[in-house]
Every structure is written in structure tokens, then in C-alpha cells.
Structure 1
Amino acid sequence: MEREGAHRPVPRGHAEEVVVDGKTEPVVVKLGVWVSNTKSRRDRLDADQLAALAALGMDWARPMTVRQPAPDSLCSPPVP
């Protein structure tokens, strides 16, 4: 996010090479797949996991507002 910006989408095929302590070669992380899978399964994440993702700047991890249905009197035709 620091390099690319907070609002740049990650294509599903994107991979990053990450240097891991104790490894001589960088490890390839399929970041696009991880983001895509995490977004599609966000309904199964708990509040702490969503908060951690939101703290990283991932707007899609913030709680969504739920629209309330209109009262029945507005949805039903008037009764004669």
C-alpha cells in the first residue's frame, strides 16, 4: 500500500516476492489471490479480523450499513 497507494486494486494474478528471515531466496506470495479470496469470504471473518484489515486501509473490510426494509404501509397497496 505504501508503494502503490491505498486505493489501487490488486489484480487476481498479481504476485509479490517477499524476503523472509532465514530464507536465502525470496518467497512468492500470490497477493491477488489472497485479496480476492479474503474479499469473497469476508462474511466469514470475525470482527477482529475485519478490524485488522480495515486498519491496513482495506475499505472493503469496514462494516457495511444494512438497509432496513420499508414499513409495510409503504410497500403494500392501499386496502379499499
Structure 2
Amino acid sequence: MDWQRHYAYLTQLLAEGARPAAVVPGVTRHGEDVGRWLASQRRNWGRLNAEQQHRLAELGVGPQKAPRARKTTTASGPRTGGEAFQKGLEALQQYKAREGGMPGRAGVQEMPDGDIHRVGVWLANQRQRRDRLDQAQRAALADLGVEWAQ
């Protein structure tokens, strides 16, 4: 019964125009965290019966992809803004252009390539780690209006 209810809520969200990639933990419907349920279905794909897998596949949902291999090389010299920082900065810039202000913790930005970036969480993490940001990174955040980076 629980599975069918969450499946129905997911179907409703998708019918309203949401993309499966945008249904992340924290996306709720009628008080139910559909995003968390969907992440669990993807993670535990092998435990689903064939009918459940088929129904989710019809909605464009599949098993969780294997994590990408991380680079093992180390950068030399001062950090000028790693790839993840640059992606976060770009997402923040797009979010501000779209919304007109800074994101809250739940702020999400869909990037042109289809990736979903949890820009609110990213910004909160940067604030927590601000003592480890270099001058260029802090200046880039300050240029976007991030008060604590100034």
C-alpha cells in the first residue's frame, strides 16, 4: 500500500511537469517525502519485483548509477577553484538570475545539461568551510553578493 501511494504521488509530480531527476529527497507530496522514496527505489532496484521495476521504468526511472570514479591526481599550487566549486558557483549565479535572491537551504537549480544542483546546500557547505576557501573563491562568492565571503 505504501509503495502504491508513493508511486501515485510520483506519477502526479511527473504529470505536472517535474522531471525524475528533479524529484530529490525533500520533494514532498501530501506530506510524504517522494524524493526520499524515489532515491530508495533507485538504490534498491534489485529488491523491487519485476512489476515495480516495469512501472518505474515507464516513468523514466531506473536503477541508481554506479558512482563515478574520482580523480586520484593531486593539484599542485594554490587552489583556483576546483571543478565542483566552479559548478556550484555557476548554479548559484543561475539561481540568483532566476529567483532574484540567495537560495535557502532547500534551493535547487537545474543546470542546462540536466544536472540538478542543490545550490542551497552547496552554499551552506561553503560557508561552513569558508576558512578553507582561497582568495579567488571568496572573491567570486562576494561578487555574487554572498555577505559572509566579503
RMSD: 1.5
Residue 105 of structure 2: aligned partner: 12
- Measure, in 2, the Cα distance between the counterparts of 1:61 and 1:36: 12
Tell me the distance in 1 between the aligned counterparts of 2:102 and 2:136. 23
Q: Does 1:2 align with 2:97?
A: yes
Deviations 1:56-75 (A, max 9, x none): 2212210xxxxxxxxxxxxx
Q: TM-score, normalised by structure 1?
A: 0.58
Find the partner of 1:53 among 133, 141, 147.
Answer: 141
Find the counterpart in structure 2 of residue 78 from structure 1: none
Letter in 2 for 1:12: R
Q: TM-score, normalised by structure 2?
A: 0.33
Whole-angstrom CA distance in 2 between matches of 1:34 and 1:9: 12
Alignment of 1:1-80 (within 5 A): 1-5=96-100, 8-20=101-113, 26-62=114-150
Give the structure with the larger helix fraction.
Answer: 2
Equivalent pairs counted in the alignment come to: 55
Unaligned 5+ segments in structure 1 are 21-25, 63-80
State the shift of 1:9 in Å.
Answer: 4.1
Unaligned runs of 5+ in 2: 1-95
| Identity within the alignment, % | 44
- Aligned AA (1:14): G
Larger Rg: 1
